A and B are shown apart, each in its own frame.
Chain A
Amino acid sequence: MANNWAPKTKVDWFLTVLRVLALGVVTVGLLAFIAQQISVDNPFARLINPDATGLTVAQFRGLVISGLSQGAMYGLIALGYSMVYGVLGFINFAHGEVFMVGAMTGMITSNKLDDAGLWESNFIGSLLFIVVVSMLVCTLTAVIMERVAYRPLRKAPRLIPLITSIGISFFIQNTSVVLLGPTSKAYPDMPDWLTAKRTFLEIEGTKILVICVAALAMLGLWLLVERTKTGKAMRAVAEDQEIAGLMGVNVNRTIVKVFAVGGAMAGVAGILWGVLFRSVIHYTGFLPGIKAFSSAVVGGIGNLGGSMAGGLFIGLAESTGPLLILEPLGVSGVSQLRDAVAFAMLIGVLLLKPSGLFGERLSAEDRA
C-alpha cells in the first residue's frame, strides 16, 4: 500500500498534492470551526472567516440528527447497490430510480388512504400498509429490470450493463413524468404527535421514526443474509457464480432474489424519504441514488454492514460538512454546496482509500 503512495510520475505528484490539499482543507476547516466554537472573536477564526458566527449546541444537534436520519435512508438504498455489485460486478445505476418508485408509490397510496380518512385515524397501520405496498412495487420493479435488461447481458463487457442501467434510469424517471406529471407531489400531513419535537433531546419524531425503521429493515436483511439458506446461496453466488452453480445453487433465481431484496430495501427507503421530506418528484431518485452509491463505496462495496455505516457517514458529512468545514473557511452560501460535498466525499474516498473504509467483499475476478 505504502508503495502506491510514493509519487513516481507527474500524475502521481499531482494526486499527492491533491490528497494533501484535500486533507489540508478539511483540517484547516475543522480547526477554524473549533476556534470559532471556542470564541467567535478568536483571531484564528476571524482570520479565516471574518463573518464567523459559530453554531449553538441545538443547531449542531439538529444537523447531526438530520444527517443520521438521511444517512440511514442512504444506507438502505446503498444495500441494493452493494449487493448487486457484490454479486454481478456492475453498478446498477437505475437503483436510485427504484427508490424513487418507492417514494412515488408511497405518495399515491398515502394520499388514497388520506382521502379515505384512514391516514389520520390509524396512522401506524397506514404507514405499515404503505411500506408494504412500496416494498412490493419496488421489488417488482427491480425484478422486472433484472429480467428485461440485465439477464441478457450477464456475459457482456462490464461497461455494457452500466450503460444499460443509465438508460433504464432515464426511462423510469421519464415514465414517471409522462404518467404522473412533471410537478412535485406532496405526501399528506404527518400527525402532530409525530412532527412535534420530543422532549427527549428535542428531536423531531419523524427522524427517530426514520432511524428506527431503517434499523429494523437492516436487521431483517442481516437475518436473511446470515441466517437463511437464501442468504447462504447469495453469498455463494457472490463469491463465485460458476462454482455456486456447480454446487447446486440456482444462480438465476438467487440473482433475482438479490435484486428483489435490494428493491424491497429501496422501497422502505422511499417511504422514509416521504416521511422526511413529504414531497416527491421524478428526479427524487437521482441525487440520493448517487449518494447511496457513494455510501456503498465509502463503506466498501459488497460489504453490507459497511454500506449502512457508509450511508450514515455520508449523511453526516453532507449535513454537517458545509457548516463544519466550508463555513469556517469563509465560503458563502454553504447549504447550496451540500450535494457537492457528497460528491467530493466520493472522490475523496476513492483517492485516499479506494477499497472503502471497511474493505470490499467481491468475487475473485472483480477484485481489481
Chain B
Amino acid sequence: MTTTAGLLIRRVPAAWRRVVRIGALGALGQVFISLSGMPVRLDVREIVVPILSLGYLVVLAAPLVVGVLLGRRPEHSGFLANPPSNRDLVIGATTGGLMAGGGLSILALLLAGFDLRDPLINWSPQLLEFLSFGRGTGAGFIVWLVIGAGLGMVGGTLRLATSRTQKVIMTMALTVVAAAILESLVVDLVEGVKLEALVEWMYAPRGGVTLLGAAVLAIVSGVLSFVGQGRIKTVQARVQAMEGPKRTRVNLTLIAGVGVVMILLPLLVGKLTNELLANVGLFVLLALGLNVVVGLAGILDLGYVAFFAVGSYSTAVLTAATSPRIAPELPWFVALILVIFIAILVGLFIGAPVIRMRGDYLAIVTLGFGEIIRLLFLSDWLSGWFGGSQGITAIDGVDVFGLLTVDGTNPRRVFYLVLFFCAIAIYISWRLERSRLGRAWMAVREDEPVAEAMGINTVNVKLMAFVVGAVLGSFGGAIFVAKVGSVFPTSFLILVSIIILVVVIFGGMGNIFGVIAGAVVLIGVLGGPKQPGLLVEFSEFKLLIYGALLVWMMLARPEGLIPSARRSRELHQEEFLQDAWLRGEIDTDESNDPQTAGPTQTTDSDGGP
C-alpha cells in the first residue's frame, strides 16, 4: 500500500512536489493563524485606511511568502538547482498561492458547516464574517482563491525583478507598514515639536495611514531607496578604512549624537511614549546584563530573572516604609549600594554550585534557581519578610538629592534614570569585553579545557560573569521598584528570563548594539512580559511570537540581527573559512617563505573587517 503510494508520489516531478509541499504548509499556516484569533482581534488596527487592516495583513502574508519561497532557486542537498523557466515559476507560485488561499476557503466552508467552538475558542461567527468579507461564504470561498493565486503570483514574480527593484519594493512596503505601526510614536513626536500639520494628512482620524499618506510614503521611500542604495555601504566602508584616531572620532561623534537624541527625545513626547521608552530602556538594561553572561562568557543562564527579583525585593525592603519585617527606609541611592552587595552575594551563591556543570545542565539548574527564588518570595514561610503573595506596596520613588523624585507618575524621569543606568551597563560591557577578563571569557567560550590548561581559572572567570550579570540585573530590579512602586512575586516568572533571552539572541549575542536593537524592536513593538508595546493589539499573541521567533532565529540566523563578528565566526566556521579562502586570506603551507607571499595578502586583509 505505502509502496504504491510512494511510487505514485515519486512519479510526480520534484518541482511540483515542492509546490504542493510549500503550498500545503502555507495553507496550514493560514488556518493556524486564523484559528489563533489573530485576524479578528487585529482587524481593529488599521494599516492603510480603508483597504488594509493588521488582521488582513497577517493572513495575506502567507500566500505572498509562499510565492516568494517558490520563487527562490530550489536547493537539493546543498546544491542550487537550475532556476525554473519563467512560465514554470509563475505557474508554480500561483498554484502555491492558490493552495495557501484555498486553506482559508476551506476553513470558511467548515466554519459555516460545523460548530467546533468547543474546544477551539476562535471558531466563531466573527471569523466566518472576517473570512467572507461579510458577503456570504460562497463569496469568501472564491475571493480567497483569487487573492491567494494573485499574491502567490506576485510573490513568485518578484524574483524576476532585479535585486535593486526588489529592494525598492521591499522598502516601500516596509515603510508604509512601519509608518502605521509607529503611528502613536510619530504623532506624539510631531506634537511635541508643534508640527502636527506635517503628518495630519497622513493618518486617518481613527488610526492607520490614509491612502494618500500610503501613496506619498511609498513614493518617497521608493525614490530614496532607489537613489540611496549602496550609499550607506560606501560610507560604512569609508569609515572602516579610516585610521585609528580618525575612526574613533567618527565613532565618538556618532555616540554623542545618539546620546543627545536620547536626552532630547523624552522632552518632545508625551507620557505614554515616555512610559514605553522607559520600559524599553529597562529591558535594554536587563538584556545587557544577560549578554555579559550568555554573550560574552557563553553561559546559558535561564534563571536571570532571579537577579532581577533579588534586586527588586532588596530595594523594596531597604527603601519602603511598608516593608513587613525590617524597614530601614534608606534613600534609594544608598540602598542601591547595599543592593549591589546583595546581588554579588546572590550571584556567587547561585553561581558557585552550577559553574562546574555541563552547559545544558547549568541552564536547567539556573532555571530551577530562578523559580525557587520566586517560590520563596511567594511562600508563607518568608511572608513575614517579603509579604508573600501580597508583595510590598507603596514604595517611594527615587529621591535625587532632595531636588526631585523619580517615580512611576513621571515616566520621563524614569526614562532618564533608566538611560543613566543603561549608559553604565554599556560602559561596563564595553570595557570588560576589551580587558584581560573579556579575553578569558572568550577563551572559556571557545574551549574550556584548553582555557583551563592555559592557566585561566575558569571557575573564577565564569563566576565573575555571573556576578557582573547579577549586578546589572539588580540595577534593573531597583529601577523597576522605583518605577512601579510595588513588588509582587508574579512579576518574576520564568517567562521574564525567556523574554530577555529572546531579546539577546534576536539582537545578536555578544554585540552591545545588537542587544540594544533587539530590545528596542521587540519590547518596543511587541512589548515585555506585562508591558505593552506599540502593537497593543498583539499582546495576546506576543508570547507565541516570541517562541516562534526564538526557534526561527536559531534555525535561520543564530548570530542574531546585528551579529558580533566573532560570534558569527563561531556559528558559521565553515562558511567563514570558505569566504576567507575566496578572499585569499587563508594561510597555506605552499610557501615556506612567507616574506614573498606576504605582501599581496597584506593589502587584501587590511581592507577587510
Q: Write the residues of chain A forming the contact surface with B, with a CB cutoff of 8 angstroms.
A: 9, 11, 14-15, 18, 90-91, 93, 107-108, 111, 149, 152-153, 156-164, 166-175, 177-181, 185, 286, 290, 293, 297, 331-334, 336-337, 339-340, 343-344, 346-347, 350-351, 354, 368
**A36 → chain B closest CB, angstroms:** 18
B392 interfacial contact with A, CB 8 Å:
no
Contact call A340/B375, Cβ cutoff below 8 A:
yes
B371 interfacial contact with A, CB 8 Å:
yes
Contact call A337/B375, Cβ cutoff below 8 A:
yes
- Contact for A346 among B364, B381, B460, B550, CB less than 8 A: B364
Contact call B550/A170, Cβ cutoff below 8 A:
yes
Since A160-B571, A162-B300, A337-B381 are in contact, a sample of 13 more A-B pairs with Cβ atoms closer than 8 Å, ordered by chain A residue number, is A9-B457, A18-B353, A163-B300, A163-B554, A167-B547, A167-B554, A168-B551, A172-B547, A179-B119, A179-B122, A185-B119, A340-B371, A354-B357
Q: Which of the segments B254-262, B330-338, B536-544, B600-608 contacts the partner chain? A: B536-544
Instruction: Across the interface, name the chain B residue whose C-beta is closest to A81.
Output: B364
Of the candidates B38, B354, B459, B555, the one having the most CB atoms from chain A within 10 angstroms of its own CB is B555
Q: Which residues from chain A contact B378 at a C-beta distance below 8 Å?
A: 336
Contact call B302/A339, Cβ cutoff below 8 A:
no
Determine the distance from Cα of A14 to Cα of B35 in the docked complex, in whole angstroms: 53
Contact call A170/B302, Cβ cutoff below 8 A:
no
Contact call B547/A174, Cβ cutoff below 8 A:
yes
Within 8 A of A (CB), among B528-552: 540-541, 543-544, 546-551
Within 8 A of A (CB), among B373-412: 375-376, 378-381, 383
Q: Which residues from chain B contact A149 at a C-beta distance below 8 Å?
A: 551, 554-555
Q: Which residues from chain B contact A181 at a C-beta distance below 8 Å?
A: 121
Determine the distance from Cα of A162 to Cα of B365 in the docked complex, in whole angstroms: 13
Contact call B121/A340, Cβ cutoff below 8 A:
no
**A11 → chain B closest CB, angstroms:** 5
Q: Which residues from chain B contact A166 at a C-beta distance below 8 Å?
A: 302, 498, 501, 550
Contact call B543/A177, Cβ cutoff below 8 A:
yes
Contact call A350/B375, Cβ cutoff below 8 A:
no
Contact call A170/B546, Cβ cutoff below 8 A:
yes
Report if A108-B551 is in contact (Cβ < 8 Å); known contacts: A11-B352, A163-B300, A290-B367: no
- 19 residue pairs of the A-B complex, CB under 8 angstroms, read A11-B463, A91-B363, A152-B555, A153-B555, A164-B551, A168-B547, A170-B498, A170-B547, A171-B551, A178-B37, A178-B540, A333-B380, A333-B383, A337-B379, A337-B381, A339-B371, A340-B372, A346-B364, A347-B368
Contact call B358/A368, Cβ cutoff below 8 A:
yes
Contact-residue bracket for chain B: 35 or more
**B460 → chain A closest CB, angstroms:** 8
Q: Write the residues of chain B forming the contact surface with A, with a CB cutoff of 8 angstroms.
A: 32, 35-38, 118-122, 300, 302, 348, 352-355, 357-361, 363-365, 367-369, 371-372, 375-376, 378-381, 383, 457, 459-460, 463, 494, 498, 501-502, 505, 540-541, 543-544, 546-551, 553-555, 558, 570-571
**B150 → chain A closest CB, angstroms:** 28
Label chain B's interface by main secondary structure: helix
**B221 → chain A closest CB, angstroms:** 32
Contact call B381/A331, Cβ cutoff below 8 A:
yes
- Contact for B547 among A157, A160, A169, A332, CB less than 8 A: A169
Determine the distance from Cα of A290 to Cα of B302 in the docked complex, in whole angstroms: 13
**B548 → chain A closest CB, angstroms:** 5
Determine the distance from Cα of A158 to Cα of B558 in the docked complex, in whole angstroms: 13
Determine the distance from Cα of A252 to Cα of B166 in the docked complex, in whole angstroms: 38
Q: Which residues from chain B contact A334 at a C-beta distance below 8 Å?
A: 381
- Contact for B364 among A160, A174, A185, A290, CB less than 8 A: A290
Determine the distance from Cα of A229 to Cα of B119 in the docked complex, in whole angstroms: 40
Q: Which residues from chain A contact B118 at a C-beta distance below 8 Å?
A: 111
Instruction: Across the interface, name the chain A residue whose C-beta is closest to B120.
Output: A179
**A119 → chain B closest CB, angstroms:** 15
Contact call A179/B121, Cβ cutoff below 8 A:
yes
